[in-house]
């Protein structure tokens, strides 16, 4: 054929074209799904002042602050919001259930349960330098504000006798898994039993214990738990 561009004489590879179009289609679908996930749902809306006030009143973490991002399942338009109630203490970030209360155009009461998303921040201790396993944490931490997530309550104050449960880098946020009280398990420890003004001492062996407490195994086989004070486990006799 004369007078025709040589490039136009070649028919495009239909198989390759279909693959390219399919790839573009998949990419567009993925981008659309990502945008849908990032965007707030149609049922979500900015939280009104009554909701923010109720959430702040329910905050039960000393020195903490809370930010309310959005509310789900708001009251119907004919129901004017008067106040909100949060039945449980707010201690971590996440979704919080609350009850919305108001009245309709006739003055009759109306209410509805809803969810609100919150972000809780509180003073938390972080390491100011690297700390070896078993080393005292006193003098090696500094307070900063951190988000409080479920299952990891913050350490706002360093317990007496706190030591690193393992080697810690600088900037590590302390929690119950990173801190132990007293000597490591297996080490000897003095146990003091206090009954009024009388004090009785005996030796034991340190064992693992819950947060903020020190535990020991006595020669009798009894496991005891008490406060760590002056390098000893202090027990109050019942």
For the chain, percent of residues with pLDDT exceeding 70 = 81
The better pLDDT of the pair 47, 40 is held by: 47
At 45, the pLDDT band (50, 70, 90 cuts) reads low
Q: Token pair for residue 145?
A: 């504000």
Least confident of 9-18, 69-78, 119-128, 154-163: 9-18
Q: Which residue has the tokens 């078993």?
A: 134
Strands 232-236 and 188-195: parallel
Q: Residue 85 above 90 pLDDT?
A: yes
Q: How many angstroms separate the CA atoms of 115 and 129, rounded?
A: 41
Q: Is 50 exceeded by the pLDDT of residue 175?
A: yes
Band of the pLDDT at 1, cuts 50, 70, 90?
very low
Q: For residue 79, give the 3-state DSSP assignment.
A: coil
Q: Across the strands, what pairs with 103? A: 80, 109
Q: Are 128 and 143 in contact (CB under 8 A)?
A: no
Does the domain spanning 188-236 belong to CATH 2.40.50.140? no
SS3 12: coil
Map out the domains of the chain as residue ranges. 44-120, 188-236
pTM (whole model) above 0.95: no
Instruction: Find the mean pLDDT for residues 45-68.
Output: 91
- Mean pLDDT, the chain, whole residue set: 81
Residue pLDDT, tens place only, 187-210: 999 999 888 878 888 899 999 887
Residue 86's region, left for phi above 0, alpha for psi from -120 to 50, else beta, is: beta
Please write the tens of the pLDDT for every residue from 90-128: 999 999 999 999 999 899 999 999 999 999 999 999 999
Q: How far is CA 223 from the centre of its chain?
A: 32
């Amino acid at each position: 054929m004369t007078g025709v561009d040589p490039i136009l004489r070649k028919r495009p590879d239909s198989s390759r074209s279909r693959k390219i179009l399919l790839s573009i289609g998949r990419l567009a679908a993925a981008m659309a799904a990502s945008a849908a996930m990032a965007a707030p749902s149609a049922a979500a809306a900015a939280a009104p002042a009554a909701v923010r006030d109720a959430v702040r009143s329910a905050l039960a973490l000393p020195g903490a602050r809370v930010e309310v991002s959005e509310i789900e399942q708001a009251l119907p338009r004919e129901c004017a919001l008067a106040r909100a109630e949060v039945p449980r203490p707010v201690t971590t970030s996440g979704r919080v259930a609350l009850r919305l209360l108001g009245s309709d155009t006739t003055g009759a009461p109306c209410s509805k349960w809803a969810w609100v998303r919150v972000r809780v921040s509180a003073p938390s201790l972080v390491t100011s330098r690297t700390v070896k396993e078993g080393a005292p944490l006193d003098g090696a931490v500094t307070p900063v504000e951190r988000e409080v997530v479920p299952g990891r309550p913050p350490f706002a104050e360093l317990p007496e006798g706190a030591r690193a449960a393992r080697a810690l880098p600088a900037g590590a946020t302390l929690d119950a898994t990173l801190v132990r009280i007293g000597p490591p398990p297996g080490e000897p420890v003095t146990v003091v039993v206090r009954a009024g003004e009388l004090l009785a001492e005996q030796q034991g062996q340190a064992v693992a214990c819950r947060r903020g407490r020190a535990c020991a195994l006595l020669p009798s086989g009894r496991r005891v738990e008490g406060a760590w004070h002056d390098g000893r486990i202090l027990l109050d006799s019942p």
